[in-house]
Amino acid sequence: MNKVCRVPSFPTLLQDFFVERLMEQRGVSPETISSYRDSFRLFLQFASERLGRCPSDLALTDMDAPLVLAFLRHLEIERHNSTRTRNVRLAALRSFMKYAAHRDITSLAVIQRTLSVPMKRCDRPMVSFLSRDEIQQILSAPDPDTWSGQRDRVLLATMYNTGARVSEILALRIGDLVLGASPCVHILGKGRKERTVPLWRSTARLIKGWLPRIQDAPSQRVFPNRSGYAMTRSNVADRLRLAVSKATERCPQLAKLRVSPHVVRHSTATHLLQSGVDLSVIALWLGHESPSTTHGYLEADLAMKERALNSIQPTTNPKNRRYQPPDDILRFLESL
């Protein structure tokens, strides 16, 4: 007698997806878990309100294409999320549906229709970065005579030197530092990929001067808060904001710029590029998975040169009028 396979419930599938698939089988990073968790929190809340059932009573077949499309519209229109954020949320839902397809074959038709919901194309903004002088003014802004000011100086200098992401900087421990004849730092980046980034002598000196101010243990985080615990992303953003505010006194143009930790990372890459460092080396320096990501810095640098070129081009002859289509349908096509 054939056994009847029991179809797992939606709550069981979702729990297995996080525990078995993401954590045990794929071993994804805590950041990925957090991103997927937030995506499903938002989706389940939306689905619950729309269908009038609590999340635990939902079925996999409820997660159909119309509901997912409505959720994506909700993100963009009501929550004012960007297209990139919308695509991140959709990627989490699609990853779950691909997993569910192997566990519940009775719902394959619904799953296939949901997986057909496409990612939305979006413009890639031009990379923004600071000049070398602007960076130096920010790096020297924190007060070196206070504990937090000294930490901030070392923190910002290390961020600029390594071009590391905030999560990578906050994860640094004393055991990751090499401060000998060839100073460097070992960084655990995205996808659990390790890379080694050289430290400039000036950065190494700052770090050496900072280490006596914190506990001497290989597992000690290099940049703790006053309580000795790890700083948060918001802590880093706040400390950078304070440094920018102080640096604005000597560098007024900073008041017009939006300076984030990622802008510091962009500045590192752009300055390396302007110094003649090869794109492949910059990709390794920043921990980019694909060289195409690094190519954005080249585009940004070429854009500056193009703007300079356009500024010295001769003006066009005013007699050369723009072509005017003679027909309504041609005018419509020209307007597209």
Q: Which residues are catalytic?
A: 165, 190, 262, 265, 288, 297
Which residue's structure tokens are 């930790």? Answer: 261
**Rounded distance between C-alpha atoms, residue 237 and residue 233, angstroms:** 6
**Rounded distance between C-alpha atoms, residue 36 and residue 92, angstroms:** 5
Distances (CA, A) of 102 to 11, 68, 231: 16, 20, 41
Ranges assigned E (strand) in the chain:
177-178, 184-188, 194-198
**Rounded distance between C-alpha atoms, residue 336 and residue 325, angstroms:** 13
Distances (CA, A) of 129 to 18, 133, 169, 251, 257: 37, 12, 19, 15, 10
DSSP readout, 25-65? Answer: IS---HHHHHHHHHHHHHHHHHHHHHHTS-GGG--GGGS-H
SS3 157: helix
Sheet of 194-198, strands arranged across? 177-178, 184-188, 194-198
